[in-house]
Copies of this chain bind each other. A is one copy, B any other.
Amino acid sequence: MPKVIVDLSMSLDGFVAGPNQTLDEPLGEHGEDLHEWAFAAASWRESHGHSGGEDNADSKVIEESVARTGAFVMGRRMFSGGEGLWENDPKATGWWGDEPPFHVPVFVLTQHAREPLNMQGGTTFTFVTEGIEAALEQARNAAGEKDVTLAGGASIAQQYLKAGLVDEVQIHVAPVFLGGGVRLFESLGDDRPELELSRVVDSPTVTHLRYQVQKGART
């Protein structure tokens, strides 16, 4: 049975982006520190069109994610950054370049209807205005036997978690404090799911924690 997966890098103090996000610095101040482990990994570099990198435990974790993911769901900001970038320019294709690193169908949650985009390398962007369940249904259909990964941002992860639609949570805990910014788990409140720790991959640069969401009523 295919799964719905939250898969994000987080600082030890709980942020997925640093303070003061801008178009030039979409991850906020020092936000790139969260992803240094990935930038160095051979599999990440390959999916982003680069050669080289290390074939280490981190790279294998990314390889796994790539292999199992049949479609992504992401928020509009993750597609195109701050307000006004592409609403005002229907030809804009987000900031992922001509060959985005996804290589599978991507469903972008937005309030602005728009024609799908077919990019190089197998990535398609489909814009969904009917909400998170509709986006997930389309992503599941596109993914077939494979999993659907929620690529972010934080509010997308939170919405799906609170709606009980997530099966697995994989968090890459980067050994860094960002000091402020965008929190991954802001305030799940009573809708928070129960978790079971299912795997830890320990590498020198990051800790990969994986949890299975326990279905059924919270006691």
Name A residues whose Cβ lies closer than 8 Å to a Cβ of B.
12-14, 169, 171, 173, 175-180, 183-185, 187-197, 200, 202, 204-207, 209, 211
Sample of 23 A–B contacts (CB below 8 Å): A12-B185, A12-B195, A12-B209, A12-B211, A13-B14, A13-B184, A13-B192, A173-B209, A175-B195, A175-B196, A176-B195, A177-B188, A177-B193, A177-B195, A179-B187, A179-B189, A179-B190, A180-B187, A180-B188, A197-B204, A197-B206, A200-B202, A200-B207
- Whether B175 contacts A180 by the Cβ 8 Å rule is no
Chain B, Cβ-Cβ closest to A202: B200
Residue in B185, B200, B207 whose beta carbon sits within 8 Å of that of A177 in the complex: B185
Alpha-carbon gap, A12 to B192, bound state (A): 11
Rounded to whole Å, the gap between the CB of A207 and the closest CB of chain B is 5
Instruction: Report how many copies the assembly holds.
Output: 2
Most chain B CB within 10 A, of A13, A176, A191, is at: A13
- Whether B185 contacts A13 by the Cβ 8 Å rule is yes
Alpha-carbon gap, A190 to B205, bound state (A): 22
Chain B, Cβ-Cβ closest to A187: B180
Chain B, Cβ-Cβ closest to A207: B200
Residue in B171, B177, B190, B200 whose beta carbon sits within 8 Å of that of A192 in the complex: B177
Alpha-carbon gap, A192 to B14, bound state (A): 13
Alpha-carbon gap, A29 to B196, bound state (A): 19
Residues of B within 8 A of A205 (CB): 197
Residues of B within 8 A of A176 (CB): 194-195
Alpha-carbon gap, A53 to B97, bound state (A): 56
Rounded to whole Å, the gap between the CB of A100 and the closest CB of chain B is 29
- Whether A197 contacts B188 by the Cβ 8 Å rule is no
Residues of B within 8 A of A202 (CB): 200, 202
Alpha-carbon gap, A187 to B13, bound state (A): 8
Alpha-carbon gap, A188 to B184, bound state (A): 16
Alpha-carbon gap, A36 to B177, bound state (A): 26
